[in-house]
């Protein structure tokens, strides 16, 4: 089993259309796949159709932006019904404000010596409601303001950096409920990326469990190998099931490609076992 249950297409901030992400996952050896675009399920039918044509298992997915204790947390929903109206409405509300935020990012970057970034970022966007910091990062690389998308985040766009505009996303309780209403399972994405204190992490995981949350990502392209071990321990301590996904966005952008992560530690219960 090569499960890759986290990645992106042009429906959010990925480089390839859903059908092409499906082909790349299959070519990378993935046998169970989920496309998990940010705050949008518009690619789900295409992803499933091509996955099934290729004989690859498919779970419909989404990655919802949440604000918890003044920081952004991402919650992946797996095995959702992408036609669930409660989920679709919730995602639309979550996307609201992205366009205004992007204009504010553009104005801030202008003061930092990066002109025309909003118009520039829009050129990378398929869905104008889904403009993200990744699109700004790609514009900044193309126009020589950053060496890589990572560099653009480190120097400008990352949380708390000079080009960062704070934003209020959805509530954890709402995001988990929409996923549950769509028949899916909520998974805390890449916990190693959040700058919470140990006390805050315990509160986040405790609240997630109270809401019915049962799983976290352990092996993800957004974790270092040290973090695989750290969050495997967290999964053991809280009794979480574990998920695995590349968080692939674009060729040459992330740390790993589709299907190329190490396996989960063998004592952890994979979240996908319930659907096999």
Say if CB 141 and CB 147 are below 8 A apart. yes
Interface with Mn ion includes 247 (CB under 5 A)? yes
Return d(Cα 21, Cα 147) in angstroms, integer: 25
Segment near ligand AMP (CB under 6 A); pick from 28-36, 112-120, 126-134, 261-269: 126-134
* Helix boundaries (H) for the chain: 18-27, 44-53, 85-95, 98-111, 117-122, 133-142, 149-152, 172-181, 198-210, 225-238
Q: Which does 149 bind (CB under 5 to 8 A by kind): ligand AMP, Mn ion, none?
A: ligand AMP
182 binds, among Mn ion, ligand AMP, none (CB under 5 to 8 A by kind): none
Identity of the residue, 31 or 260, whose beta carbon is nearer to ligand AMP in the bound complex: 260
Residue 43 CA to residue 47 CA, distance in Å, equals 6
CB of 190 to ligand AMP, least distance (A): 9
According to CB under 5 A, which residues from 61 to 120 bind Mn ion?
63, 74
Site string for ligand AMP, 210-249 (x = CB under 6 A): ---------------------------------------x
d(CA 3, CA 213) in angstroms, rounded, equals 20
**Residue 132, interface with ligand AMP (CB under 6 A)?**
yes
| Residue 158 binds: one of ligand AMP, Mn ion, none (C-beta under 5 to 8 A by kind) | ligand AMP
Q: Which residues of 159-197 are buried (b: 16+ CB within 10 A; e: fewer)?
A: eeeebebeeebbebebbbbbbbebebbbbbbbbbbbeee
What is the residue whose two structure tokens read 């028949």? 183
Site string for Mn ion, 166-205 (x = CB under 5 A): -----------------------x----------------
Closest to 192 measured CA to CA, from 144, 131, 136, 255: 255
Nearer to ligand AMP, 175 or 268 (CB): 175
d(CA 220, CA 119): 32
List contacts with ligand AMP (CB under 6 A).
Answer: 13, 38, 65, 132-134, 149-150, 153, 158, 249
């Amino acid at each position: 089993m090569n499960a890759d249950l986290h990645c992106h297409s042009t429906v959010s901030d990925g480089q390839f259309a859903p059908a092409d992400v499906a082909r790349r996952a299959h070519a990378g050896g993935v046998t169970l796949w989920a496309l998990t675009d940010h705050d949008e399920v518009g690619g789900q039918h295409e992803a499933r159709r091509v996955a099934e044509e290729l004989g690859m298992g498919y779970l419909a997915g989404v990655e919802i932006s949440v604000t918890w204790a003044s920081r952004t947390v991402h919650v992946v929903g797996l095995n959702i019904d992408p036609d669930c109206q409660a989920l679709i409405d919730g995602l639309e509300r979550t996307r609201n404000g992205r366009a205004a935020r992007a204009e504010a990012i553009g104005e801030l970057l202008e003061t930092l010596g990066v002109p025309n970034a909003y118009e520039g970022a829009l050129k990378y966007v398929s869905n104008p409601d889904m403009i993200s910091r990744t699109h700004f990062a790609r514009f900044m690389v193309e126009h020589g303001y950053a060496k890589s998308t990572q560099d653009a985040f480190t120097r400008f766009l990352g949380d708390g950096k000079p080009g960062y505009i704070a934003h209020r996303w959805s509530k954890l309780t709402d995001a988990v409920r929409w996923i549950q209403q769509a028949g899916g399972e909520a998974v805390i994405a890449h916990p190693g990326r959040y700058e919470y204190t140990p006390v805050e992490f315990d509160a986040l995981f405790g609240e997630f469990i109270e809401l019915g949350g049962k799983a976290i990502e352990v092996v993800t392209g957004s974790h270092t190998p040290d973090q695989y071990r750290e969050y495997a321990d967290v999964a053991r301590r809280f009794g979480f099931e574990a998920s695995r996904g590349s968080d692939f966005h674009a060729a040459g952008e992330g740390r790993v490609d589709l299907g190329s992560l190490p396996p989960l530690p063998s004592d952890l219960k994979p979240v996908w076992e319930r659907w096999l």
